[in-house]
Amino acid sequence: NAGVTQTPKFQVLKTGQSMTLQCAQDMNHNSMYWYRQDPGMGLRLIYYSASEGTTDKGEVPNGYNVSRLNKREFSLRLESAAPSQTSVYFCASSENKGATYEQYFGPGTRLTVT
């Protein structure tokens, strides 16, 4: 039982390049989330998927797209990377059943855009 996994762990991109961050969970959770974390800014929600087949914008969606591929997998795509997207990206999942909204995080992806 690996929990939430993310690939890659590290990535360096040049401005304008594209890439997809992958996330998978093996806890049979309904909801999945993408956050970015910058120094002094805390965790900011980029996009989330409340259930398989749905996606919604979070606080900072500009420059990103997401795909909920199936119940296990939720990917984040940067179409044209910008230096402002240099950050640590975390994926999380949650059962979201009844009153249970605990989120469990993956190990993160450190992205640098030059």
Partner 1 sequence: QKEVEQNSGPLSVPEGAIASLNCTYSDRGSQSFFWYRQYSGKSPELIMSIYSNGDKEDGRFTAQLNKASQYVSLLIRDSQPSDSATYLCAVNPPSYKLIFGAGTRLAVHP
Residues interacting with partner 1, by CB under 8 A?
31, 33, 40-43, 45, 48, 50, 58, 90, 94, 96, 99, 101-108
CA distance 33 to 81: 20
Cα(83)–Cα(43) distance, integer angstroms = 18
Q: Which residue, 17 or 104, has its beta carbon nearer to partner 1?
A: 104
Using the minimum distance from each CB to partner 1, give the nearer residue, 18 or 112.
112
Whole-number Å distance between alpha carbons of 48 and 57: 7
Minimum CB separation from partner 1 for residue 90, in Å?
Answer: 6
Q: Which residues contact 102 (CB under 8 A, 6 or more apart)?
A: 94, 95
Q: How far is the CB of 80 from partner 1 (least distance, A)?
A: 27
17 vs 86 by CB, closer to partner 1: 86
Q: What are the tokens at 61?
A: 């969606």
